[in-house]
Amino acid sequence: MMNTKARTAALITPVGQEAQDEARALAADGRTGKAARRLRRGSWLKRGPAREAVELLAGGHALPTSSAQALDALRRLDAALVVELTALLDGGQQIAAVKLLRERTGVDLAGGYHLVLELGGEPDTPSP
């Protein structure tokens, strides 16, 4: 059964293209556990979202490679959440915005922080 939060986190967590390509190849060889570990090593994905990300990659989907792409994905998935996050940021409540994003999407702390920075218009920093 699909975990909605894990899937959402997978869809909004940036993962480098090289890691995606390697994970896709590993999954095609039936090595999904190793594929998930590769994605985790190249991103802020936790275990559950990494497994969902492998399924997405195996299904032909691409994951975001930057915080800007991740924010675009979040806007498509949950525009109402983005409105709430923006209101919190406009009120100077960055920590509350990160907390809300994490509660609603299952994204990890670093990923949530960078998405909130992106939404607030601060420059994107590279993923780990």
Q: Percentage of the chain with pLDDT > 70?
A: 92
Q: Residue 17's domain spans which residues?
A: 4-58
d(CA 83, CA 42): 29
- Tens of pLDDT, residues 50-86: 999 999 999 999 999 999 999 999 999 999 999 999 9
- Tell me if 45 sits within 8 A of 9, measured CB to CB: yes
Structural domain contains residue 124:
no
Nearest to 6 by CA among 80, 105, 103, 98: 105
Residues 49 and 81 in one domain: no
Of 15, 35, 58, the position where a domain reaches its end is 58
Instruction: Give me the number of domains the chain comprises.
Output: 2
Is 13 part of any domain?
Answer: yes
Other C-beta atoms closer than 10 Å to the C-beta of 68 total: 13
30 & 13 share domain: yes
What tokens appear for 39 in the block? 């994605």
Q: Are residues 54 and 72 in the same domain?
A: no
pTM of the predicted structure, to 2 decimals: 0.87
Sign of CA dihedral 30, 34, 40, 43: negative
* pLDDT of 122 higher than 90: no
Nearest 5°: the CA angle 41, 43, 48 is 85
